Amino acid sequence: MTHKLAAAPEPPSDALTVAPSAWVSPDARIFPSVRGTKIAIGAGSRLFEFAVIRAVGGSGDIVIGERCMINPHCVLYSGSGIEIGDDVALAPGVQIVPTNHAYHRRDIPIAQQGFLPSKGGVLIGDDVWVGANAVLLDGAEIGKGAVIAAGAVVSGKVPPYEIWGGVPAKKIGIRGEETRQSGVS
């Protein structure tokens, strides 16, 4: 008996757009949606090796602005959507996960319960730096010029130009004021 695997459907031709001046490492991985989710990478942006962009877990688009740096080992899931402004730097290992599994029922395995309602996706303003291994969850809104410290977990609103760190993330400083510089790399 021979078993054949069904071929995966092809994504629509407009599911992935990469500006001509953007650069995507041949070792980065982009998995466009077959359900209509769009992925757009803006002019001058760079997606480094081993970064992963995957359209899964919802119907939100992933829009990366101009002159952004998505460093190695970053993972962006489409979920409820990701919008990244211009001049944003994601340090290595940043995870952006704008979706939440349903888990309340005990009689059904979590993997079979689907997803909770969206909290609005993830929005990142212009001129933001997100430190290494930070995690941005559904509902995170990072204001213009903010800094997220390495290892922070963000699920709420970060005002413009504030520095946030910790688990869960909280305000630890303001950009432009005298602050401790540790923990932001």
Q: Which of 35, 79, 31, 36 is nearest to 57 (CA)?
A: 79
Active site residue 101: yes
- Sign (positive/negative) of CA torsion 115, 118, 119, 125? positive
Strand-pairing partners, residue 77, are 54
Sheet holding 75-77, edge to edge: 29-31, 52-54, 75-77, 95-97, 135-137, 153-154
Q: Which of 3, 73, 101, 104 is catalytic?
A: 101
Comparing CA positions, the residue from 92, 57, 50, 94 lying closest to residue 77 is 57
Active site positions, annotated: 101
